[in-house]
Structure 1
């Protein structure tokens, strides 16, 4: 899914304008990148964490079943 499609889907599901959804996505991605570039892990609730380093890694959260 490309960014415009994702923004449109978020807009439809949340009731906000597509442009506002795209702006929110940009803000979230920029914040994640700033955290990683400063050496901090980026936590994505319900998904996992992206850990900084020479090569970024993703750790998926474990869900109890």
Structure 2
């Protein structure tokens, strides 16, 4: 399999260049999708920063 990858990487035709551009764009798009999914509403699980802090003795 490594030989096939190296053979395609050494190919000088225009079709191979287009393939590499499409592959790179796919990898970038996948990375962006994962990043946006992981960070979208990341603060929703955290406590509200504007909520008043209550003491333990006052909470009961």
Larger Rg: 1 or 2?
A: 2
Greater share of helix: 2
Q: Bin the TM-score by the shorter chain.
A: 0.3 to 0.5
Instruction: Please give the TM-score of this superposition, normalised by the length of structure 1.
Output: 0.38
The one of the two structures with greater contact order (alpha-carbon pairs below 8 A, sep at least 6) is: 1
Higher share of residues assigned strand: 1
